[in-house]
Amino acid sequence: MNLKTKINLISVSVSLVITLLIFSLIILLIGQNPAGILSIILNDVFATGYGMGQTLFKATSLIFCACGLAICFHVALFNIGAEGQLNAGSFVIALVAVYFADLPFPIVFLFCLVSGFIVSGIFGLIPAYIKIKKDVSEVITTIMFNFIILALVNFFLLDFFAVKSTMRTEKISENFMLTKLSDFMPFFSGSSLNVSFILALAVAVISYILIYKTKFGYELRAVGFNKTASKFIGLNVNKITLIAFFAGAGLTSLSGINFIFGYKGFYEMGFSSNIGFTAIAVALLAKNNPIGIIFSSLLFSILEYGGLSVNQQVPKEIMLVVQGVIILAILSVDKIVNNYFERRL
Partner 1 sequence: MDLISSIVSLTFIAQVIRLMTPFYLGASAANFSERGGVINISIEGFMNLSAFSFAVFSIATGSILLGFIMAIAINLLFSLLFAYFTVKLKLDQIVTGVGFNLLSAGITKFLMVYIFKSSSNTERFEGLPDLNFFESIPILGSIFSDYITIFTFALIFISGFVLFKTRFGLRLRSAGENPWAAESLGVNVRKYKVYGILISGFLSALAGMWLASNQNSYSDGMIAGRGYIALAAMIIGKWKPVNIFFACLMFSAFEALEISLQVSGTDIPAQLIQMLPYLITVLVLIGFIGKTRPPAADGVPY
Partner 2 sequence: MNTVQFKDISISFGSCSVLENVSLNIKSNSVHCILGENGAGKSSLMKVLFGMYQPDSGEFFINGKIVHFSSPLDSINMKIGMVHQHFMLISDFTVLENVILGNEITDGLKINFSGIRSILSDIINKYNLGLDLDSKISDLSISSQQKVEILKLLFRDSEILIFDEPTAVLSPVEVKEFFKIIEEFKRNKKTIILITHKLNEVKLIADRVTVLRKGRVVYEEDITDCNIDLEKLALAIVGESRVSIAVDKSSENLTNEIVVRLNNIDLYKNSVKILDKMNLSLRKGEVLGICGVEGNGQNEIAEIITGLEKNFEGEYKNKNVNVSMVPDDRISKGMISQFNVGENIYLKNGKKFIASSELLDDFSDKTITEYDVRLTNNKASLGSLSGGNQQKVIIAREISAGNEVLIFSHPTRGVDINATAFIHSKIIEERNKNRAVLLISSDLDELISLSDRLCVLFKGKIIRTFESDELSSYKSDNKVSLTPDIEIKKEKDNQLFELLGKLMIGMAD
Count of residues near partner 2 by CB under 8 A: 20
Concatenated DSSP letters of 74-120: HTT-----HHHHHHHHHHHHHHHHHHTTTS-HHHHHHHHHHHHHHHH
Decide: helix, strand or coil at residue 268: strand
Which residue lies nearer to partner 2 by CB, 43 or 214? 214
Tell me how far apart the alpha carbons of residues 91 and 259 are, in angstroms, rounded to a whole number: 11
Q: Pick one of 27, 211, 327, 337: the residue that binds partner 1 (CB under 8 A).
A: 327
Tell me how far apart the alpha carbons of residues 13 and 7 are, in angstroms, rounded to a whole number: 10
**Phi, psi at 323, each rounded to 5°:** -60, -45
Give me the long-range contacts of 331-336 (CB less than 8 A, separation at least 24): 331/284, 332/15, 333/11, 333/14, 333/15, 333/18, 334/8, 334/11, 334/15, 336/11
Cβ 158 to partner 1 shortest distance, Å: 7
Binding mask 226-245 for partner 2 (x = CB under 8 A): x-xxxxxxxx----------
Q: Is 28 in the site for partner 1 (CB under 8 A)?
A: no
Which residue lies nearer to partner 2 by CB, 84 or 292? 292
Q: Pick one of 46, 187, 225, 340: the residue that binds partner 2 (CB under 8 A).
A: 225
Q: Is 140 in the site for partner 1 (CB under 8 A)?
A: yes
Which residue lies nearer to partner 1 by CB, 180 or 221? 221
Binding mask 165-204 for partner 2 (x = CB under 8 A): ----------------------------------------
CB atoms within 10 A of CB 238: 15
Phi-psi region of 58 (alpha: psi -120 to 50; beta: other; left: phi over 0): alpha
Which residues are at the interface with partner 1 (CB under 8 A)? 30, 78, 80, 130, 134, 136-137, 139-141, 143-145, 147-148, 151-152, 154-155, 158-159, 277-278, 280-281, 284, 314-325, 327-328, 331-332, 335-336
Which residues are at the interface with partner 2 (CB under 8 A)? 2, 213-219, 221-222, 225-226, 228-235
